[in-house]
Amino acid sequence: MNKDIILKTTTRIIVPFILVFSLYVLAHGEISPGGGFQGGVIFAAGFILYSMVFGVEELYKIISKKVIIFLTALGVSIYTGVGFITMLNGGKFLEYAKIPGFDMKSGNAMGLLFIETGVFITVFSVMLLLYIEVAKKYDN
Amino acid sequence: MNLKMNLPALVVVFPFFSAMMMVAIGIFNRKVVPYIFQITATITAYFAFSLLIEVYTNGPIRYYFGNWIPPVGIEYYVDYLNILFVTIIASIFFVMSFYFPLSVRKEIPESKSYIFYSVTTLFASGLLGITITGDMFNIYVFTEISSITAYALIAIGGNRRSYRSSFNYLILGTIGASFIVLGIGYLYMATGTLNLLDMQERLQHVYNSKITISAAAIIIVGLSLKMALFPLHSWLPGAYAHSPSTISAFMSATSTKVMAYLLIRFVYTIFTPNFATKIIPITDIVMYISLIAIIAGSFLALGQKDLKYMFAYSSVGQIGYIVFGAMLINANGLIGSIYHFLSHAIVKGGLFLVAGIIFYNFTNTKIEITNGLFKKMPFTSIGFLIFALSMIGIPATSGFISKWYLVMGAIETGNWIGVTVILLSSLLTAIYFWRVVDRIFFKAPDDDVKFNEPISMILPTYILAGCSIYFGLFPHQLVNYAQKAVLLLMETIK
């Protein structure tokens, strides 16, 4: 499977589109179907496809396991971090209108995007981590 | 930042955030994680105590998340009842955090230790979330957070038995959680709201609906499974006996009690006693089951050969006391129940800490190795004695006060079976604890080896022992607090 040229070429072409599409799903989360979770899964699917064709070792060259574990924690921290910022600014937890530099309307739109980004990062890295843990068993 | 206003959110979100930080930092530097853990526990306890003071001076707090007004938004509802539980969980977490480093170094593989600290903190924040939230679906979500972390924490011990008991708990816990969410779904169907106080009001018009009745039945079964009420207790002994000693101590002190709190919350605040006694006899049924649990737990503990198993089965019996007091629908019974929550959290947590110190030295907790333990580990033995006396309910310990109120409640409602059962079970408790006390203090040791009792492990044990004696000698203030909570709960009867 590793030597199949069609598979390799198709993957090379298709992976960038998958990644870009996932960002689109993330950005349109609050007005159309989609959001951080779905975007994160699609983003991870791109990486998973890549490593299924080229092997897990190739994946590690792009992103190491340490970084993936770090990202799982980082995503949730971004989510709660937004909540802390609104609290520090005199609001309640996740009161988007109180994000510094935003008013009621833009704050609600942007705040949602911020926390969805956190969800995106965590879901992406957890999906990848699950894949790696399973793939490790079958790799050798 | 307005710290006072945001306390209800902070007490849950802060440990949650810090659990994530532990992973993010621990992946690069494992050595600092125990310190972060310690600081987290301290600050969480500080938040909980400030919240306690705040609630008792200014009355119940309703905290709206993101400033969305309920029932649209999610709220945290802190009243006199759950602030007690929040404070107990946070302070037990704080006291035990001193105990963690040595025990973890002994029992957890070094590469997993930072994950262990993180998951423990997540577990604590899940429990705090269950108690503090005022939203039905939030209750379910936090239940899942605390259960899933609990499965992981039990399995992290790494021997075959801990995997097996973790899996056992996973299956039964998931069934329990799905019962709870199914019941919540039914309630949502009947009322169209998820907010606790809103639901209480709207439910009054649909008491006779079949949906409400089946929701009540389903939720009670789910909660009984989660709190290990006999005969649904089969996951508990393995889970307590084969998990790391720190986790068995923390879990036994908090997790099943939180589910008992939810039972009180559901029966008193959401369904209200009018429904639970008149439409369908939930309280009667659960009360008799709890009496069976008290007796069965004590008998099962009588025959155990391992300290941890003995404590676990005795937990099954003790949950019976808490449920029994709550199901009497009587002020004194409920005070007894709340007091027993505290007393049992302190005492059972302490007993598992003692078992942890024994495990630290012997790497097992069989009862036969405790022969002449007093000569080898005097401090541990005395701690064990204090906790044992409190479990039995000797005056001047907290166990006495809670049993006193429970018996008073039972007498006031004319429940003489209950009185008999409580007294009989105290006798049984005395028998199975004295079996061990006798070995520890009066049998000759097998050898002369001296064992070390690290100060960081002895200190939390003695703090808990001190608390047990303090609340046994000066119960006045806490009873006052409990009375306030009970008055608020009983308002719904009128």
Alpha helices in B364-415 (DSSP H): 373-376, 378-392, 398-412
What pTM does this model have? 0.92
Q: Looking at residues B225-235, what average pLDDT do you find? A: 87
Say yes or no to pLDDT of A46 above 90.
yes
Per-residue model confidence (pLDDT) at position A16: 94
CA distance A87 to B65: 11
Give me the residue label for tokens 């006031």. B412
Question: Distance, in angstroms, between A77 CA and closest chain B CA?
Answer: 6
Tell me which residues of chain B, numbers 56 to 85, contact chain A at a CB-CB cutoff of 8 Å.
Answer: 63-67
Question: Distance, in angstroms, between B22 CA and closest chain A CA?
Answer: 8
Label residue A49 by pLDDT band (50, 70, 90).
very high
Per-residue model confidence (pLDDT) at position A87: 86
Q: Which chain A residue's Cα is nearest to B66?
A: A95
CA distance B234 to B195: 33
Q: Are B61 and B78 in contact (CB under 8 A)?
A: yes
pLDDT digits (tens, 9 = 90+) for B363-377: 888 888 878 788 788
pLDDT digits (tens, 9 = 90+) for B92-112: 999 988 888 888 888 888 888
Q: What residue type is B90 in one-letter code?
A: A
Residue B103: CB atoms within 10 Å: 23
Label residue B186 by pLDDT band (50, 70, 90).
very high
Q: What Å distances lie between residue B12 and B24, B58, B251, CA to CA?
A: 19, 21, 17
| Cβ neighbours of A74 in B, within 8 Å | 20, 24
Ranges A24-28, B182-186, B345-349, B489-493: which has the least confidence: B489-493
The beta-carbon neighbor of B27 closest among A69, A90, A92 is A69
Label residue B490 by pLDDT band (50, 70, 90).
confident
Per-residue model confidence (pLDDT) at position A45: 93
Per-residue model confidence (pLDDT) at position B392: 87
- B210-226 and B282-302 are packed helices; what angle lies between their axes, rounded to 10 degrees? 10
Within 8 A by CB and 6+ apart from B69, the residues are none
B2 contacts A90? CB cut-off 8 A = yes
Q: Name the average pLDDT for chain B.
A: 87
Say yes or no to pLDDT of B485 above 70.
yes
3-state SS of chain B: helix, strand, coil percent to 5?
Answer: 80, 5, 15
CA angle (B331 as vertex; B326, B332 as ends), nearest 5: 85
Label residue A139 by pLDDT band (50, 70, 90).
low
Per-residue model confidence (pLDDT) at position B494: 65
Label residue A140 by pLDDT band (50, 70, 90).
low
pLDDT digits (tens, 9 = 90+) for B353-405: 888 888 888 888 888 887 878 878 888 888 888 898 888 888 888 888 888 89
**Annotated domain spans of chain A:** 5-139
**Annotated domain spans of chain B:** 3-493
Q: What residue type is B38 in one-letter code?
A: Q
Please state the ipTM of this predicted complex: 0.89
Say yes or no to pLDDT of B408 above 80.
yes
| Cβ neighbours of A97 in B, within 8 Å | 67
Q: Which chain A residue's Cα is nearest to B9?
A: A93
Question: Distance, in angstroms, between A53 CA and closest chain B CA?
Answer: 28
Per-residue model confidence (pLDDT) at position B72: 84
